[in-house]
Amino acid sequence: DTAVSQTPKYLVTQMGNDKSIKCEQNLGHDTMYWYKQDSKKFLKIMFSYNNKELIINETVPNRFSPKSPDKAHLNLHINSLELGDSAVYFCASSQDLTRSNNEQFFGPGTRLTVL
Amino acid sequence: GENVEQHPSTLSVQEGDSAVIKCTYSDSASNYFPWYKQELGKGPQLIIDIRSNVGEKKDQRIAVTLNKTAKHFSLHITETQPEDSAVYFCAAIFTGGGNKLTFGTGTQLKVEL
């Protein structure tokens, strides 16, 4: 299936731990994103990468470090996890950054619970 | 600043009725307005979008209208069915680069039998 996939789907961990979420898209897109959805379902962008280059860093704490080894992958590493990091994290991709190709396709999400 | 307001936050309709969700945006230079449907436990799914050079777009039971002067856009679902029950988000891409989607706060639509 052509899609945006994320692993793991669920992640439960203790405060202070370090964890990673992986994202892969096989749509041939150049641009990938991370969004955070809080408990009130509010969706907000965190990062975007275009062809492995950071484009947007939306004032996210530096405990969050995205890494794009190639344009099909955008992983999210989180250090020193805090209770407030509990949320659902969505990866998305779009063909590129041009105006005519900016439809974004979302992955299934990773529900992170910090205890 | 960049802002998208969405109303109502919850909407309950009878099966077969129409549902309308409205959004307003702050940046008059915004050019792309998608609508997403999010079912429980799943990621947002793009259902329809409209660009600033078009006033209306329709896809079967779903339509979106855009009023650039008033800076608002609406989602219309006709002949609603129980499977339309979900959270719906409007969004906009504001100028400034990066293709960043700014989302509305979501509408929980419930279609009752």
Residues 6+ apart with CB under 8 A from B5: B23, B24, B25, B104, B105
Condensed to tens digits (0 to 9), the pLDDT of residues B14-28 reads 999 999 999 999 877
pLDDT in the model for residue B102: 92
Taking the CA of residue A53 and the nearest CA in chain B, the distance in Å comes to: 11
Across the interface, which of A35, A44, A102 has its CB nearest the CB of B93? A102
Quickly state the pLDDT bin for B97 (edges 50, 70, 90): low
CB-based contact (8 Å) between A115 and chain B? no
Question: Which residue would you say has higher pLDDT here, B48 or B94?
Answer: B48
The partner residue sitting opposite B46, judged by closest CB among A97, A103, A108, is: A103
Using a CB-CB distance cutoff of 8 angstroms, which residues of chain B are in contact with residue A102? 32, 93, 99
Of the listed ranges A81-90, B73-82, B99-108, the one predicted with least confidence: B99-108
β-pair partners for A89: A36, A110
The predicted pLDDT at position B1 comes to 66
Chain B contact for A41 (CB, 8 A cutoff) = yes
> With contacts defined as CB-CB under 8 Å, which chain B residues touch A87?
none
Q: What is the mean pLDDT of chain B?
A: 93
Is the pLDDT assigned to residue B13 strictly greater than 70? Answer: yes
Element spanning B4, H or E? strand B4-7
Contact A104 B49 (CB under 8 A): no
| Residue range B48-67, pLDDT digits in tens | 999 888 899 999 999 999 99
Q: Are A48 and B32 inside 8 Å of each other by CB?
A: no
Asked if residue B95 has pLDDT above 80, the reply is no
CB neighbourhood size of A15 (10 A): 11
Q: Look at residue A87 in the predicted model and tell me its pLDDT.
A: 97
Instruction: Please list the ranges in chain A whose pLDDT falls under 70.
Output: 1-2, 99
Angle at A92 between CA B65 and CA A53, to 5 degrees: 115
Residue among A42, A48, A56 whose CB faces B105 most closely: A42
- Partner A contacted by B54 (CB < 8 A): no
Residue A97 region by backbone torsions, left for phi larger than 0, else alpha for psi between -120 and 50, else beta = alpha
